[in-house]
Amino acid sequence: MANRLPELQAPYMRWPDESGPAYAAFQAYMNMHFSERTLTEAYRRARNRPHVNTASGTWSMWFQKYHWAERASAWDAELARVEREAMLREAALRAQRWADRRLQLIEQEWEDAQRMREMGLQMLNHSITQTVETTEELTDNGLQVINQVKPVGWRMRDAALFLTKASDIGRRAANMATDLVAEAPAVPDVEADPLSKAQAVARNMVERFPQYTLDQILQIASQVSGFAIEVLRPGVADKAGAECSESEDSQTTLDS
């Protein structure tokens, strides 16, 4: 009569009354892949008898008495559990690696955004310059190096683009909505009328960067375009005045 399956934590382990040869035979059966596992095939491989048609009587008795099929199924389940846990550990490690990479990228993008913002502010606050070294021969002191500072060529729309992109990158890095930050509005290309183009760029800057005074923007526009501030002012001051008027009207409405 077959034994009842004992209450073991791991039924595929050796049973108390299971002899060494019996457990070795069970291991030969258990360690086969479940798709190939049969009593006869296990016997053939363990005994190196590929042509036998059935297992021995002793193996058949052990198979029934010690519940080989149930125990082998428990072993399959254990292997599957271990494999799942290994996959979960690997997935967790991979997820952590990518989380670290994302955090590193966020920090890098935030730093990039701050550098771009500083550059944009520098372009707004004063003309970006480059230093060119020249030499001049003096009769008493020999050669003396004279540094000449020349403006770097850029347009005010470049400053607007720098600040816009810096804000966009910073918002993405901070996981903030980016739809609040649009591309810098296109500035009309008025090649035939440089003054109109300079005034259009300055008006664009007034709209995009209200934190800067009109005089600051006009000063930059003058440096870049070559037009005097008072020449530029009429086409720009109207825009600034209109915006101030709209702001005052809005405030009056709120106060009332």
Mean residue pLDDT of the chain comes to 74
- Confirm whether 26 is domain-assigned: yes
pLDDT category, 68, cuts 50, 70, 90? very high
- Could you tell me the CA-to-CA distances from 114 to 122, 129, 155, 166 in Å, in that order? 12, 21, 21, 7
Give the pLDDT of residue 110.
Answer: 81
Q: If you average pLDDT over residues 81-95, what whole number do you get? A: 89
d(CA 161, CA 167): 10
- Confirm whether 240 is domain-assigned: yes
Give the pLDDT of residue 199.
Answer: 75
pLDDT tens for 215-226 read 877 777 776 667
Q: Which two tokens stand for residue 133?
A: 């070294």
How many domains is the chain partitioned into structurally?
A: 2
- Is residue 122 within 8 A of residue 128, CB to CB? The reply is yes
Structural domain range at position 25: 20-90
- Confirm whether 146 is domain-assigned: no
- Confirm whether 60 is domain-assigned: yes
- Is residue 224 within 8 A of residue 198, CB to CB? The reply is yes
Q: If you average pLDDT over residues 52-78, what whole number do you get? A: 95
DSSP state of 162: H
- Could you tell me the CA-to-CA distances from 26 to 12, 40, 173 in Å, in that order? 9, 12, 60
pTM of the prediction?
A: 0.43
- Confirm whether 56 is domain-assigned: yes
Which of 90, 111, 131 is where one domain is finished?
Answer: 90
| Amino acid of residue 197 | K
- Is residue 131 within 8 A of residue 158, CB to CB? The reply is no
pLDDT tens for 150-203 read 555 555 566 667 667 777 777 776 666 655 434 444 444 444 467 777 777 777
Give the pLDDT of residue 124.
Answer: 64
- Is residue 160 within 8 A of residue 209, CB to CB? The reply is yes
Give the pLDDT of residue 51.
Answer: 92
- Confirm whether 138 is domain-assigned: no
- Confirm whether 68 is domain-assigned: yes
Q: If you average pLDDT over residues 1-27, what whole number do you get? A: 81
| Amino acid of residue 131 | T
- Confirm whether 127 is domain-assigned: no
Which of 46, 69, 90 is where one domain is finished?
Answer: 90
Q: Which two tokens stand for residue 62?
A: 């052990």
Does residue 171 or residue 243 have the better pLDDT?
171
pLDDT category, 70, cuts 50, 70, 90? very high
Instruction: For residue 66, list its beta bridge partners.
Output: none
Give the pLDDT of residue 250.
Answer: 46
Which of 28, 57, 90 is where one domain is finished?
Answer: 90
- Is residue 104 within 8 A of residue 112, CB to CB? The reply is no
What 3-state class would DSSP assign to 56? Answer: coil
Alpha carbons within 13 angstroms on the beta-carbon side of residue 65 total 17
pLDDT tens for 97-156 read 888 888 888 888 888 878 877 877 776 665 555 555 565 555 566 666 655 555 555 555
